[in-house]
Structure 1
Amino acid sequence: MVNMFLFKSNIFFALFIFVFIIINTTTTPVEGALCERASQTWSWACKNTGGCNDQCITWERAKNGACHSRDGKDMCFCYFDTCDAPFLCERASQTWSGECSNTTGCDRQCQTWEKAAHGACHSRGGKKKCFCYFNQPC
């Protein structure tokens, strides 16, 4: 009787493993690999993945975004369906004067005065400047 019980248990276990393997080997289609690029518009250490994600989607037309630490820097990275996705056209603001410390003001001024999609403060050459971003080629 014990031998029959062990035999049935082994058969059940073998069937369970077989079904488990079959289920796990039938995979769902995987999307193509995403293309990762450092955000063009994120201008500070990235500590807020939700904000990075929103900015990548809204400003840079990416699929999503996330904060990652690379080379000791916390950066915002945007993910695109293809590496052929166009970059935003970035130009230093023609109407902003002085150092840029107010990204909201820079964004508003780029949109209102320069007809840009967005604007943000970035450090370039040791100076913090207002840069405008356009959705068309430079």
Structure 2
Amino acid sequence: MISPSLGKKIEAAGLDIALVEQRVAQALAEDAHAGDLTSKATIGENHRSTATFNARKTGTIAGTLVAAAVLEECGLNNYEIKVNDGTSVEAGTTLIRVEGNTRAILLAERTALNFLSHLSGIASLTSSWVKEVAGTKAK
């Protein structure tokens, strides 16, 4: 369930909260339908960690709010989005920092990264096209 504060940010970005929740639930069901069996077998139930999501390469970021929705769906509410969508970043830039249950972080990680990678890839390509036509009459 998306928190009211994240819901307001999602709405302000022009996204449909119900659709974001639906897509996140679908993605988690695909990525972790059986849960994270390795984490359950090797990590204590109450173990806590801090993790960061970092840019793999230079580009334009998108999907931080959807990634945050994944975190919240996995019970992780202690996170900070460090970079706003639409921001150009260098490789290694921290995008999101999260603290919480280690198993929950590992469960959310793949799905959140998939959304961030896919949406940032689209944003980066779009940004490069915009730069290519800058100064022309193309619209």
Name the structure where strand makes up a greater proportion of residues: 1
Name the structure where helix makes up a greater proportion of residues: 2
Shorter-chain TM band: under 0.3
Q: TM-score, normalised by structure 1?
A: 0.24
**Radius of gyration: which is bigger?**
1
Q: TM-score, normalised by structure 2?
A: 0.24
Tell me which of the two structures has the higher relative contact order, counting C-alpha pairs closer than 8 angstroms and 6 or more residues apart.
Answer: 2
